[in-house]
Structures are given as structure tokens and as C-alpha cells.
Amino acid sequence: MEVDKSTKIILLPKDTEDQYTVVHLPLSKELQKSKPFFINGDGSEILELNEITGENKYTKKEGAPILKNGDSVRSFIFELAIPSKDTLSNGDSSNGSLSNGNTSLDNHRVSSGGFVLESSHMITTTKFNLTYLLQSILHTNQDLFTKRYITLEDVCDLIESLCTEKDWVHKISPSTYQRSLATICQVIDENDEFFYKYSPEKSVEFISTKINKLVTFLKENREKVSLYNHLYSKLLDPTESIVVTDDIIDEMVLRYGIDFVCDSYCLEVIKMELMNKQDFTKLEAHIEGIATKQKNLLVVEENITSVVKTTAAAKNNKKIEKKGKKKEVTKIAVGKGALDGFFKKAK
């Protein structure tokens, strides 16, 4: 196996035996942009790629050694535990680059004893739900997809005509399209031939289902998931005079769920439709009350600080005045003093 500094580490799903190719799909949140995805041989599985650098601004120490490109001084060490099987461990090294499962320091063939990858960067893969992308495309072009029922072939042809990146459209399997379209479209089955018409209502309901699952998970695992406590801490009153009720924390978790799901995969217009259907009156009043109290506390602290500074300045001025006042001394010419005549020589 030939490896070099351009090789990348890519973590695939466990026990996968598929062969993947790289395709560029539009981003469901911003259709004008695209990014690389993996797609398997029969087009039934799409994997989203994300780079993990290992950087953490909260644990970064000043003065810590870094590489010329700014990366941390870390590496991966691959060791051959059993013939034909590699195990991965984390170690330290220098220099940095992306890697794809294997790499070495130079352009040498990997030896049977293992090798070192100079960079700790890696690319993770997670299964991607095509429904998010189809939803964004169909929702943006409702005039093409809501007026009449059309076949799957027509849907794909229209999508291909709308996208700058077109290669992916016909690489995805029909069954994958059918599953996704059935979630966001009204469907007619005529002798096993399916016709689709985009439904904005079903589309929003699809996102609502995802949000509700996330909200339910956070509530049921509040003792285990630190995120729930983080959201709760944002609602605490610094003066402890405002009580955080269950209704308020529920609204907070729901709003977070909407932000998380929609900001990850949805168009802004879909997010706004979901937000307009919710009532966050209690939450907004609570947050506004806390903000007012914090502002008042800040004013009080600034006033106290101002008084302390004024008092300290006044004390310093008094000390300077005391040090500055010196007793005036009357200068007398030589020979004119009161005792000068006493010490004169007798004539």
C-alpha cells in the first residue's frame, strides 16, 4: 500500500463492505454551495463527510508547541496487531496533513510493522438523509413541483436542470428517492407507478418530527446530557427572584431543537415557518426579565466601582496635599542674623 502526506484518514461506518465514490451535492441549507459526499455502488447510501481537527479553543494552552501550519503537535500511530488487520492508537509527532486511513512521513511503502501519520486530522462519515436536500430544492421551486403530479423520472430531470452540480442526481437509487419523496410529497400509486406532488405541509411536518425527537431525547436524558443543564443555566436569575418553571424550560429546549435541526439542514424560510407556529411568550418574557435584572445589576456595580474610585482618588489627593505643604523659611543675609553679633571678635 502506497501512502504519502496527502493521504487521508476516513472513518467509515462499522462493518461496511461497500465501495464508495465521491460526489458533490448542494448543501440543503444553502443550495448555491456544495460539498463532497460519499455514495455507495448501488446509490442506496449517502455519507456526509466532516473533518475533525481535534482543536478545542477551551483547552488550548498558550505557548503550546504547534506545527508550521498551525496544527497541534499530534499524530496517529498504526500498528499491525494481527496479519491483515490494523489497529489504531493516538500518539505524538510533528508536522501535519490530512490522511485517509494510512500515511507515512515520506513517500515510502508501508512496512509490515506499522507507520506514523504526522497529522491527527481525520474525516468522519455519517449517514445523510436525502430528504433534507430534496425538501430544500422542492420548497424553493414550488411552482414546478406543486401544480401537478409527476413521475420520479420527471422529478429527477427537473432537479438536474436546477442544480449546478448535476452528477449526483442519477447516481442515487430510485428506492432512495421514493423513500424521501414519500415523506414530503403527496403520492399517487397507479399500477405500481408512483406520481409525486410536493406538499409544504408534509415537509414542515417532517422537520417537526425530527425536532420533537430531539426534544424528547433531551428531556428523557436530562441527568445524562450536559446540554440540558447548559440550557437550564441560561434561564437562572442572578438575583434568584424569578423561578424557572417547567413551561419555560420546555420552551427553551424546543427553541434549541428548532435552531439545531434547522440551522444544520434547513432553509431559513422553513425555519421561520416553524418558529411562527410556536408560542414562546413565557420564555421571551423570562429572558427579558433576566436581561433587565442583569442590566440593573451592572449599573449598580458600575456605580459602586465609580464611588470606590472617587473615594480612593480623594484620599490620594489629601495625601498629596499634606506632602506638598512645606513651612516657609525666611532667608536672612549673612552677618545679619540675631546671633551674628555675639560671635564677632572683640575690638
CATH number at residue 190: 1.10.10
Is 175 inside a domain boundary? yes
Looking at the domain assignment, is residue 246 inside a domain? Answer: yes
Return the amino acid letter for 269.
V
Does residue 107 share a domain with residue 36?
yes
How far is residue 125 from each of residues 10, 16, 77, 87, 113, measured CA to CA in Å? 7, 12, 21, 19, 28
Please give the Cα distance from 308 to 302 (Å, whole number): 10
DSSP assignment letter at 156: H
* Same structural domain, 21 and 120: yes
- Amino acid residing at 197: K
Same domain flag for 271 and 232:
yes
- Does 123 lie in the same domain as 41? yes
What per-residue confidence (pLDDT) applies to 153? 95
Q: Are residues 42 and 123 in the same domain?
A: yes
Q: With respect to residue 322, please indicate whether it lies within any of the assigned structural domains.
A: no
Last residue of a domain, one of 234, 256, 288: 288
Residue 110 inside a domain? The answer is yes
Residue 206, domain extent: 202-288
User: What is the pLDDT, as a whole number, of residue 14?
Assistant: 82
For residue 328, being part of any structural domain is answered with no
Question: And the C-alpha cell for 150?
Answer: 409527476
Record the cell numbers describing residue 109, joined without a space.
511503502
- The pairing of strands 20-26 and 46-52 is unpaired
- Residue pair 145/134 in contact (Cβ under 8 Å)? The answer is no
How large is the C-alpha radius of gyration of the chain? Answer: 36
Residue ending a domain, among 288, 307, 336, is 288
Which neighbouring-strand residues pair with 52? 122
Cβ distance 129 to 172 under 8 Å? no
Same domain, 223 and 244: yes
Number of separate domains in the chain: 3
In a domain, 105, yes or no: yes
pLDDT tens digit at each of 347 positions of the chain: 555 666 678 888 887 777 899 999 999 999 999 999 999 989 999 999 988 876 666 556 666 666 666 666 667 777 766 554 444 444 443 333 333 333 333 333 444 567 777 667 788 899 999 999 999 999 999 999 999 999 999 999 999 999 988 889 999 999 999 999 999 999 999 988 999 999 999 999 999 999 999 999 999 998 888 888 888 888 887 666 677 888 999 999 999 999 999 999 999 999 999 999 999 998 888 888 887 877 777 777 778 887 777 777 777 766 666 555 555 666 666 656 555 555 555 55
120 & 30 share domain: yes
- Kind and range of the H or E run holding 257: helix 246-265
Distance CA 143, CA 23 (A): 28
Closest CA to 178 of 44, 87, 306: 44
Decide which of 86, 102, 127 is a domain's last residue.
Answer: 127
pTM score above 0.95: no
Q: Provide the pLDDT for residue 319.
A: 63
* Residues linked to residue 78 through DSSP beta bridges, in sequence order: 88, 115
Q: Are residues 115 and 150 in the same domain?
A: no
Residues 209, 189 share a domain: no
Q: CA 183 to CA 129: how far, in whole Å?
A: 11
Does 341 reside within a domain? no
Beta-ladder partners of 20: 40
Nearest to 204 by CA among 130, 271, 129, 278: 271
Q: Is 38 found in the same domain as 103?
A: yes
On whether both 123 and 161 belong to a single domain, the answer is: no
CB atoms within 10 A of CB 275: 13
Residue 281 shares a structural domain with residue 247: yes
- Residue 176 inside a domain? The answer is yes
